[in-house]
Amino acid sequence: MPPTIRLPRADGSITPYTMHEPVSWPAPTGPIRSRVAYAAAHVVCDPLADRDPLSDARLDWEATLAYRGHLWSLGLAVADAMDTAQRGTGLGWNAARELIRRSVAEAQARGGVIACGAGTDQLAPAEGVTLSDVQRAYEEQVGFVEGQGGGARVILMASRALARAARGPDDYARVYGAILRQVARPVILHWLGDMFDPQLAGYWGTRDVDEAMNACLAIICEHRAKIDGIKVSLLDAEREIALRRRLPDGVRMYTGDDFNYKRLILDDAGGRHSDALLGIFDAIAPAASAALQALDRGDVTTYHAALEPTVPLARHIFQAPTHAYKTGIVFLAYLNGHQGHFRMVGGAESWRAVPHLAELFRLADAAGLLADPDCAADRMRRVLALAGVE
């Protein structure tokens, strides 16, 4: 029988919850064919490293790389050194560089597909930073990723320093154009909305999202041969669809919409769809893999059955403040035994309240994403006990 556990609710009450029988998700027999699907992977910190967790994080490399192996085993590609890996919220460029180096080597050894974030986070977004400074910072990181070989694709991340230094769309066109003319192979652009990072407000040179879309699209059209696709994380399905319709042929839309992914990955009435580059795929990887395997077979019914129960979980994990979603991602990995602790880079395990984590537990169980109910219940009880809930 599945275990029963007492869980707190937002109103302060504590009620018993009986878990479901675990779901046995199918393992793929080969790569996913119908969509390009990247899971943005989290990192596992070393909880015993006696360092400043805000500025000098040390990672548990064995557990971090093992999780990437888990994602590859499910037929998913890995997007590494992204905001899910806490770039800009505790994981600095020095640690990110080592993460990229090790993860690309692991992908080569396992035959996994990988893309890595290249940004400007070695450059503080301070007064006096110039567009030339931003360009040089991008060049350093892009050069490092491309220098690893192994087929690693660059994800050209949004830049806080560029958002601070730019005065309008022409400045974005200048910096992006300079980088795109240099890249060795097509990159994935990354449009991260300010709900994920307030320092990116007004990206592409305007706070009007429709005008920003036009500015972004102009860059894509001018440099289409150097762009594999664009990841859009605005949590706005209609705007993503509108931009998707306007993309040049051969340029992919990678949904970064952790609310509406189920709809956006499917073909629309015009036969267009989004591929995926999603933080939520880290958390729901077995269900995401099963859904995409079903799409490979043309089985839309099974696709919906696998993903529909994950949507309430995703909306809970990514609720405001949206940047705190990383706490839920790591918590679910802890519940499932992928790491031996619930400690995070920068102390981010404290970013969500205990009732939030309890509801995450319920929703993950309802979605069939707690592989071992006894293990998950035991770990949930430990977290509750630490918070004084017995």
Residue 214 resides in a domain: yes
Residue 260 resides in a domain: yes
Residue 39 resides in a domain: yes
Q: Which residues contact 28 (CB under 8 A, 6 or more apart)?
A: 74, 75, 289, 293
Q: What is the pLDDT of residue 63?
A: 98
Q: Write the CATH number for 202.
A: 3.20.20.70
Identify whether the C-beta of residue 60 lies closer than 8 Å to the C-beta of residue 276. Answer: no
Residue 41 resides in a domain: yes
Residue 390 resides in a domain: no
- Residue 82 to residues 40, 157, 365: CA-CA distances in angstroms? 7, 8, 27
For residues 378, 379, 380, 382, the Cα torsion angle rounded to the nearest 10 degrees is: 90
Q: What is the pLDDT along the chain (390 residues), one digit of tens a residue?
A: 899 999 999 999 999 999 999 999 999 988 899 999 999 999 999 999 887 767 678 999 999 999 999 999 999 999 999 999 999 899 999 999 999 999 999 999 999 999 999 999 999 888 999 999 999 999 999 999 999 988 999 999 999 999 999 999 999 999 999 999 999 999 999 999 999 999 999 999 999 999 999 999 999 999 999 999 999 999 999 999 999 999 999 999 999 999 999 999 999 988 899 999 999 999 999 999 999 999 999 999 999 999 999 999 999 999 999 999 999 999 999 999 999 999 999 999 999 999 999 999 999 999 999 999 999 999 999 999 999 998
Helix (H/G/I), strand (E/B), else coil: 230: strand
Residue 324 resides in a domain: no
Residue 91 resides in a domain: yes
Residue 277 resides in a domain: yes
Q: What is the pLDDT of residue 134?
A: 98
Q: What is the pLDDT of residue 150?
A: 84
Range of the domain at 107: 29-319
For residue 253, list its beta bridge partners. Answer: 230
Q: What does pTM read for this prediction?
A: 0.96
How many structural domains does the chain have?
1
